[in-house]
A and B are shown apart, each in its own frame.
Chain A
Amino acid sequence: MSEAVAQQAAEQEPEIDLSLANKIIDKYIDMPGNLMPVLQGAQDEYGYIPRAVADLIAERLNVYPSQIYGVLTFYAQFHLKPRGRFIIRVCVGTACHVQGAPRIVETFFDKLKIGHAETTPDLRYTFEKVACLGACGMAPLAMVNDSTYGAMTVQKVDEIVNDYNQRPMK
């Protein structure tokens, strides 16, 4: 019965290429304690863990599907919904807060029309408020994927968004 449910769920999701997940599983299949590296590999490959991939991992690694879900929801590094091509993180830690981070956050919300931990429908952006990025000297700070943008201003929000709007999705 659970297989039927899994099948339905797989049908609702966009087409997932399971061969990528199979390759990751092949790599770790004989290693003890392989669940974490396989999930991390899948997270890197797909940007999130699609249901069909979780089910495939459960079947091939002979781990309960429930246990996989337990791991996925325990660690912040795993995501269950598709994430944007560009992850925008704005620090709202103490230093950034006093330097005006709330206004930066609001401006991103207005500009992208999404809230905290949400993704734009075109999958271009995911926005996250984070507690501290460890660069208080650059407050208020924002990051887009691995690039940092210090001394943020409302104007710079516009510039960043315009810049990333032009960038390719792949």
Chain B
Amino acid sequence: MVNLTIDDKQVTAPKTATIYEAAKLNGINIPILCHDKKLKPFGACRMCLVEVEQMKGRQIPACTTPVTEGMIIRTSTPDIVKARKMVLELLLLNHPIDCPVCDKAGDCDLQNLTYEYKVNANRFTDEKFHHEIDYNNPLIERDMNRCVLCGKCARICDEIVSFGALTFISRGIETKIGCEFDEALNCEFCGSCVSVCPVGSLLARPFKFKARFWSLTKQKTICGYCGTGCNLTLGVKDNKVLTTIYDENQGFHNGQLCCRGRFGYQFINSEKRLTKPLVRKNGNLVEAGWDEALDLVAARLKGAGAAAAAIATARLTNEELVLFKQLMETAGSNNYDHSAGYAHAALTEGFASSFGVAASPSSILDIQKSELLLVIKTDAYETHPVVGFEINMAVKNKGVLLKILSDKSGKLSKLPDAKTLIHTPGTETTIINSLAKVILDNKLADASAALIPGYDELEKALADFTPEAVSAQCGLSAVEIKQLASAYAKADKALIIFPVGQAYPGHTAALANAIANLALLAGKLGKEGSGVLCLSEKNNSQGAVDMGFQTADGLNANQILDGCASKTIKTLLIAGENPMVSYPDHAKVAAALDRLEFLVVSEIFLTETAAMADVVLPVCSFAEKEGTFTATDRRVQHIKPAIKKTAQSRSDFEILGALIKKLGGIAPTAPASVFAEIASSVPGYAGMSYVSLGEEGQFATVAVKPAFVVPQAPLAKSETGKLALVIGSALYHNGTLSQYGEGPMHVCPEGYVELSRADAAALNFAENDLLTVSSAGGSMVLKARISSRIPQGVVFAPYHFGSNPVNQIWNGAAVTWVTLTK
């Protein structure tokens, strides 16, 4: 700490602080335009000029000058005020005064500073700019006439997003922010640039002319898409969510969001939403009252026993999942599962057997504190973009080493000094086993490892996994495997990250066991910035696991569908899940649901699955209800309603409570009381309450009881003359819900098949060609995308799209062998 004087006040600040930071820490506000706490100091705008006595009263920028012992600083002398006024006059010389039609008005740093410094006249005159406004994409409007060249957009796109879409182009008076060859913006549309723009140069187009900023009510909540658990601020007016508002102080991610989080909110007030319950009469779904619909469901459930089953999406709140369990138990059935049990077997079986707890021992906060990150599949960026930002910052700002094991390269591969090992699809477990073998053979194992139960069995089981033995099968050289193993073992703090979810069937319990073995062998657990982090797919996947929404004595999702097909399951309740699109093997799912006597779907939209139901119950979105979500790293967060429930929709909590009552049970009346029950019964949640969660949330503790479990590595098969299709997530989407968010659909409206340049050239395919993709299970038509990131012999397809679901050709295998024809 250093001692200094700011505006005659004795203050202290950390040695590393700048004058701006020291002032802010001590409640003294210095005006800024180009500075952002998340970005490196830049010093472009000269708004933050201050006087330092030791520097002979020279005016120096506070945002780039570090504090030193005994500094005497004045932040608002008459000279400083005069200088700041002139800076504003010069900015306003070219900046158009079109505030009445600018969506930034009310939230504009330049406007606020102009007001604060009373710049009501300008001593200079000059022409305004005449740049063409970029309206070429539907999400971000770029009006460079309003730009003040603070460079925040270009810097955030480089430093945090690591996409680099924007930069300073040209020179002198002609300088402006632009893209390569001054083309239209075409990026991943996370909107980070929009969020930091201090003026109206970069605007969210979906919000244009929707409302004045000051008329919005701001409601903080948690994003309802992936498992990262990002905090959101929704801008609400007239019971409509009109935009997301950036708050740099919100969440571990400082307000950073991805495309779907920032631009995917439109499903909340979509006109396509279900408004009333629907009941099937004479083969058609017709509108009905709530009592009629719920009576029908209750009558089916009463005494149904094991003939009833439930599949819930992991987007429900913890409280709703607990209630759902209670409902099924009241009905006498323990057949319930969430988001297809198979997709989270890495947690429920893998981690459960290796760590004694079905949760990741590490958190997202460990990423920037690590020394080496080992990422399994570059898709971690696509499935959890904000976790991707954390990885970007760890590598670029903290010099963390990044090693990637993947079946294709991706955005993470482009990070400085990132090493991507491209392996044969489906061989992850084998490679991880081989890494463990190298650690054992080279005596790199931690001393603690030999004391963990199962050590001897593991040592024996790994005998066949020498790098030389697996090299050919995995498509990696023995040297590469050895180098990776020794880099991992030698890093003091190393973190393994891998995504799981419905699109990643290869990321099985065995892979989780193998990863856990590797981390345990190398002694990476129990340290900050080190360990294992499994990225679960949905906003509450970890919560669904924690709430035990699947029991060993009941059927899992796949078995439930088999039960439907064999008619042992007669009544199925589906809450928010769309198996027709997201579960493997479309034909099998369709046949199973078809054979059901009674299908109930509670949904926001009339999805492909809801359209098959006998009763459809309209439910509300995350923005209309209260409860808790548990993020992938077991951060439990409180969500609060931002708007009143639309139309006649009800929350799943209300629906399930009503059904429990109709079955003669006692239903809790408020989510808070259910959470109190959770806090007293779920391991790790002890002591939590809605009040204690606060805005930051609380981590549920993870008590690891380590054990070595021998993983069964699947043998990689290959079919000559065919291409290996791997399914995955597209950056802009999450599950099937994002199909109803306009933003993601603007930039990625349909499925596609991505293939390598080499394969495209050999097969004579061009970009956007319509290709017939055929597997043993069927065939479908997808648009071709040709890219340099896919290795020869591999093709990739995302799974989110109901209009042309990829499960027509995919039966849930980690690798599907396909042929492509034009």
Task: Tell whether A pairs with B.
Answer: yes
Interface residues of A (CB under 8 A from B): 1-5, 7, 9, 51, 54, 58-59, 62, 64-70, 73-74, 80
Q: Give the distance in Å from the alpha carbon of A3 to the alpha carbon of B786 in the complex.
A: 8
A84 to chain B, nearest CB (A): 22
User: Are B179 and A66 neighbours in the complex by a CB distance under 8 Å?
Assistant: yes
Q: Give the distance in Å from the alpha carbon of A73 to the alpha carbon of B186 in the complex.
A: 20
Chain A residue nearest to B180 (CB atoms) is A65
A76 to chain B, nearest CB (A): 8
User: Are A66 and B164 neighbours in the complex by a CB distance under 8 Å?
Assistant: yes
Chain A residues within an 8 Å CB radius of B786: 3-4
Verify if B479 is at the interface (C-beta below 8 Å from A).
Answer: no
Q: Give the distance in Å from the alpha carbon of A69 to the alpha carbon of B767 in the complex.
A: 25
Chain A residues within an 8 Å CB radius of B182: 69
Supplied contacts A4-B786, A66-B178, 9 more A-B pairs, CB within 8 Å: A1-B186, A3-B788, A58-B180, A64-B158, A66-B166, A66-B167, A66-B169, A66-B180, A73-B170
User: Are A68 and B787 neighbours in the complex by a CB distance under 8 Å?
Assistant: no
Q: Assuming A62-B414, A67-B164, A74-B171, is B788 touching A5 (CB within 8 A)?
A: no
Name A51's contact: one of B165, B169, B181, B768 (CB within 8 Å). B181
Chain A residues within an 8 Å CB radius of B167: 64, 66-67, 69-70
B458 to chain A, nearest CB (A): 39
Chain B residues within an 8 Å CB radius of A67: 164, 167
Chain B residues within an 8 Å CB radius of A4: 767-768, 786
- Taken residue by residue from 157 to 188, chain B's Cβ proximity to chain A (1 for < 8 Å, 0 otherwise) reads as 01000011111111100000011111100100
A57 to chain B, nearest CB (A): 11
Q: Give the distance in Å from the alpha carbon of A68 to the alpha carbon of B179 in the complex.
A: 10
Q: How many residues of B contact A (CB 8 A)?
A: 23
Q: Assuming A5-B186, A73-B170, is B788 touching A54 (CB within 8 A)?
A: no
Q: Give the distance in Å from the alpha carbon of A38 to the alpha carbon of B167 in the complex.
A: 20
Chain B residues within an 8 Å CB radius of A70: 167-169
9 tightest A-B CB contacts, nearest first: A64-B164, A65-B180, A70-B167, A66-B167, A69-B180, A66-B180, A73-B170, A73-B169, A4-B767
26 A-B pairs whose Cβ atoms sit less than 8 Å apart in the complex: A3-B767, A3-B787, A4-B768, A5-B186, A51-B181, A54-B180, A58-B180, A64-B158, A64-B163, A64-B165, A64-B167, A64-B180, A66-B165, A66-B167, A66-B169, A66-B179, A67-B167, A69-B167, A69-B178, A69-B179, A69-B181, A69-B182, A70-B167, A73-B169, A74-B168, A74-B171
B745 to chain A, nearest CB (A): 15
Q: Give the distance in Å from the alpha carbon of A69 to the alpha carbon of B154 in the complex.
A: 13
Chain B residue nearest to A51 (CB atoms) is B181
Q: Give the distance in Å from the alpha carbon of A65 to the alpha carbon of B170 in the complex.
A: 15
A36 to chain B, nearest CB (A): 16
Chain A residues within an 8 Å CB radius of B768: 4
User: Are B183 and A5 neighbours in the complex by a CB distance under 8 Å?
Assistant: yes
A69 to chain B, nearest CB (A): 4
Chain B residues within an 8 Å CB radius of A5: 183, 186
Chain A residue nearest to B170 (CB atoms) is A73
Q: Give the distance in Å from the alpha carbon of A51 to the alpha carbon of B181 in the complex.
A: 8
Q: Give the distance in Å from the alpha carbon of A66 to the alpha carbon of B163 in the complex.
A: 10
A41 to chain B, nearest CB (A): 20
Q: Give the distance in Å from the alpha carbon of A4 to the alpha carbon of B165 in the complex.
A: 16
Chain A residues within an 8 Å CB radius of B178: 66, 69
Chain B residues within an 8 Å CB radius of A7: 767
Chain B residues within an 8 Å CB radius of A3: 767, 786-788
Q: Give the distance in Å from the alpha carbon of A5 to the alpha carbon of B168 in the complex.
A: 21
Q: Give the distance in Å from the alpha carbon of A48 to the alpha carbon of B310 in the complex.
A: 65
Chain A residues within an 8 Å CB radius of B186: 1-2, 5
Chain B residue nearest to A67 (CB atoms) is B167
Q: Give the distance in Å from the alpha carbon of A66 to the alpha carbon of B151 in the complex.
A: 14
Chain B residues within an 8 Å CB radius of A65: 164, 180-181
Chain B residue nearest to A55 (CB atoms) is B180
Q: Give the distance in Å from the alpha carbon of A62 to the alpha carbon of B396 in the complex.
A: 14
Q: Give the distance in Å from the alpha carbon of A73 to the alpha carbon of B183 in the complex.
A: 14
Interface residues of B in 766-791 (CB under 8 A from A): 767-768, 786-788
Please indicate which of the listed interface residues A3, A5, A70 has the most CB atoms of chain B within 10 Å of its own CB: A70
User: Are A59 and B788 neighbours in the complex by a CB distance under 8 Å?
Assistant: yes
Chain A residues within an 8 Å CB radius of B788: 3, 59
Q: Give the distance in Å from the alpha carbon of A67 to the alpha carbon of B157 in the complex.
A: 12
Chain A residues within an 8 Å CB radius of B163: 64
Please indicate which of the listed interface residues A51, A54, A69 has the most CB atoms of chain B within 10 Å of its own CB: A69
Chain B residues within an 8 Å CB radius of A73: 169-171
Chain B residue nearest to A63 (CB atoms) is B164
Please indicate which of the listed interface residues B165, B181, B182, B186 has the most CB atoms of chain A within 10 Å of its own CB: B181
Q: Give the distance in Å from the alpha carbon of A54 to the alpha carbon of B181 in the complex.
A: 10
B754 to chain A, nearest CB (A): 11
A34 to chain B, nearest CB (A): 14
Q: Give the distance in Å from the alpha carbon of A3 to the alpha carbon of B787 in the complex.
A: 7
Q: Give the distance in Å from the alpha carbon of A58 to the alpha carbon of B183 in the complex.
A: 16
B746 to chain A, nearest CB (A): 13
Q: Give the distance in Å from the alpha carbon of A54 to the alpha carbon of B183 in the complex.
A: 14
A114 to chain B, nearest CB (A): 22
B13 to chain A, nearest CB (A): 34
- Taken residue by residue from 374 to 409, chain B's Cβ proximity to chain A (1 for < 8 Å, 0 otherwise) reads as 000000000000000000000000000000000000
Q: Give the distance in Å from the alpha carbon of A58 to the alpha carbon of B167 in the complex.
A: 14
Chain B residue nearest to A65 (CB atoms) is B180
B381 to chain A, nearest CB (A): 16
Q: Give the distance in Å from the alpha carbon of A59 to the alpha carbon of B787 in the complex.
A: 12
B370 to chain A, nearest CB (A): 22
Q: Give the distance in Å from the alpha carbon of A58 to the alpha carbon of B179 in the complex.
A: 13
- Taken residue by residue from 339 to 376, chain B's Cβ proximity to chain A (1 for < 8 Å, 0 otherwise) reads as 00000000000000000000000000000000000000
A12 to chain B, nearest CB (A): 12
Chain B residue nearest to A9 (CB atoms) is B181
Chain B residue nearest to A70 (CB atoms) is B167
Chain A residue nearest to B174 (CB atoms) is A73
Chain A residues within an 8 Å CB radius of B180: 54, 58, 64-66, 68-69
Chain A residue nearest to B787 (CB atoms) is A3
Q: Give the distance in Å from the alpha carbon of A110 to the alpha carbon of B167 in the complex.
A: 39
Q: Give the distance in Å from the alpha carbon of A135 to the alpha carbon of B179 in the complex.
A: 40
Chain B residues within an 8 Å CB radius of A64: 158, 163-165, 167, 180
A70 to chain B, nearest CB (A): 4
- Taken residue by residue from 785 to 810, chain B's Cβ proximity to chain A (1 for < 8 Å, 0 otherwise) reads as 01110000000000000000000000
Chain B residues within an 8 Å CB radius of A51: 181
Q: Give the distance in Å from the alpha carbon of A73 to the alpha carbon of B168 in the complex.
A: 9
Q: Give the distance in Å from the alpha carbon of A9 to the alpha carbon of B179 in the complex.
A: 15
Q: Give the distance in Å from the alpha carbon of A69 to the alpha carbon of B178 in the complex.
A: 9
User: Are B767 and A74 neighbours in the complex by a CB distance under 8 Å?
Assistant: no
Chain B residue nearest to A3 (CB atoms) is B787
Please indicate which of the listed interface residues A9, A59, A67 has the most CB atoms of chain B within 10 Å of its own CB: A67
A72 to chain B, nearest CB (A): 9
Q: Give the distance in Å from the alpha carbon of A59 to the alpha carbon of B164 in the complex.
A: 13
Chain A residues within an 8 Å CB radius of B158: 64
Q: Give the distance in Å from the alpha carbon of A28 to the alpha carbon of B170 in the complex.
A: 25
Q: Give the distance in Å from the alpha carbon of A18 to the alpha carbon of B182 in the complex.
A: 23
Chain B residues within an 8 Å CB radius of A62: 414
Please indicate which of the listed interface residues A9, A74, A80 has the most CB atoms of chain B within 10 Å of its own CB: A74
